[in-house]
Amino acid sequence: MGLALISVALLIGLGALGTAIGFALLGGKLLDGTARQPEMAPMLQGKMFLIAGLLDAVPMIGVGIAMYILFVVAPGLS
Amino acid sequence: MAAEGGTQTSSDYILHHLANLTYGKLPAGYVRDGQALSTDTWTFAHTAQEASDMGFMAIHVDSMMWSIGLAIVLGILFLIAAKKVTPGVPKGFVGFIEMVVEFIDNTVKDTFPYRSKFVAPLALTIFTWVFMMNAMDLVPVDWLPMLAAKLSGDPHLYFKVVPTTDPNITLGMAFTVFFLMIFFTIKNKGFMGFVKELTLHPFHHPLMIPFNFVLEAISWIAKPISLGLRLFGNLYAGEMIFILIAIMYGAGWALGLFAGVLQWGWAVFHILVIALQAFVFMVLTLVYMSMAHEVDEQH
């Protein structure tokens, strides 16, 4: 049963790690782009939120499955 | 629905709050509350265990009611706005609706360069409906079910308020988009066009057909699944955190106050997540529709 808990931790942890790095890079590039062309800021920000939404999928699917494992597959753990 | 008697442990609270209100068929001879059922009975499941025993022939009544209800509310809202629209400067409510429609129209024009009477209304419906369903997540977890339990007098009545935390709803919408993709591909490129797209796409050489087909099949299957699970994952995790915060209310004064602040903070962040996921769902649908309408490259 303990393995399920480890799998939940890995699922959420690694997903969060990857997304954090991804969002940091995304934010950095947004600031670079805005610094280079301030008048493009609104459009760039719009695109950034769109990609942020897409990026969000990966850890969120991981978290969704992790919650499923935690509460449905091995309810005894929580 | 929860374990009767004794203090409710936090995991009971969580499990209790994850169970949809399911209406389904329990087979004859199913032991329920101590006595076996004489005939196949259609009933509301009392416990999550019963809900899963109902197997396939069971409907999540709460998700269906909330999603269809919200769709009707939206339909009425847009109908009222459509009736009151005047050529002059729009005021108040009609102005707001026009703002939403214009926002969607611009996005559709950017993403979908082809002529289609169906795609823009589809985008508007998806965005507003998914946004409204997600917005139900901001209502604190226990308010509506407790209200309903008081009104109906049945203390054990519980239902999940947010339809999009039910994978059936999100995957259902995603696979509808998937079948629309197939329909429009066949309509615009003909059935042979569809077959060609599946078999000849990356490498235009008859020898490479099996490899192409595997590649294309995987990318076609991944689209609806990622589309549906993205929305489900975000909302399910969001609601899970609301449930965890709600547990803290029961643990004394100091923690309750702290939980209030947490709930407010998470709700504010969640407003962004709600709008973003509805927007992403719509944009991806438009991208898939524009791929289906793309006929300019000749084979």
CA B135 – CA B193 distance, rounded (Å):
41
The rounded Cα B290 to chain-centroid distance in angstroms is: 23
β-pair partners for B59: B23
Interface test with B, best of A23, A50, A61, A68 (most B CBs within 10 A): A61
Q: Quick check: A61 and B237 CB within 8 A?
A: no
More confident residue, A43 or B50: A43
B237: chain A residues, CB-CB within 8 Å: 60, 63-64, 67
Interface test with A, best of B166, B171, B229 (most A CBs within 10 A): B229
Any alpha helices (H) in B115-166, and if so which ranges?
Answer: 119-135, 143-152
Burial (CB count <10 Å: 0-12, 13-18, 19+), residue B5:
exposed
Residue pLDDT, tens place only, B246-278: 888 877 888 888 888 988 998 998 998 899 899
Give the torsion sign (CA, B144, B147, B149, B152): negative
B41-44 sheet: strands from edge to edge: B41-44, B22-26, B58-60
- For A71, which of B18, B233, B283 is closest by C-beta distance? B18
- For B280, which of A50, A64, A72 is closest by C-beta distance? A50
A53: chain B residues, CB-CB within 8 Å: 276-277, 279-280
A67: chain B residues, CB-CB within 8 Å: 236-237, 240
Q: Quick check: A56 and B276 CB within 8 A?
A: yes
CA A72 – CA B143 distance, rounded (Å):
24
pLDDT above 70 for B43: yes
- For B14, which of A52, A61, A71 is closest by C-beta distance? A71
Q: Quick check: A57 and B230 CB within 8 A?
A: yes
ipTM: 0.71
| Per-residue pLDDT band at B114 (split at 50, 70, 90) | confident
Residue pLDDT, tens place only, B166-222: 888 999 999 999 999 999 999 988 888 888 888 888 888 888 888 888 888 888 888
Is B234 noted as a catalytic residue in this protein? yes
Check if the beta carbon of residue B198 is closer than 8 Å to that of residue B219: no
pLDDT (0 to 100) of residue B127:
94
Give the angle subtended at the CA of A66 by the CAs of A63 and A69, to the nearest 5°. 155
CA B93 – CA B69 distance, rounded (Å):
21
Is B20 noted as a catalytic residue in this protein? no
pLDDT above 50 for B5: no
Is A32 noted as a catalytic residue in this protein? no
Within 13 Å of residue B183, how many CA atoms lie on the same side as its CB?
Answer: 8
pLDDT (0 to 100) of residue B1:
40
Rg (CA), chain A: 17
Q: What is the pLDDT along chain A (78 residues), one digit of tens a residue?
A: 678 889 999 999 999 999 999 999 999 999 999 999 999 888 888 888 888 888 888 888 888 788 778 877 776 655
- For A53, which of B10, B232, B280 is closest by C-beta distance? B280
A:31-70 residues touching chain B, CB 8 A cutoff:
49-50, 52-54, 56-57, 60-65, 67
| Per-residue pLDDT band at B3 (split at 50, 70, 90) | very low
Of the listed A25, A56, A60, A73, which one is catalytic? A56
Tokens of B52: 């899963």
Q: Which among B172, B199, B223 is positioned nearest to B64, based on CA atoms?
A: B172
pLDDT (0 to 100) of residue A10:
93
Tokens 């847009």: give the residue: B78
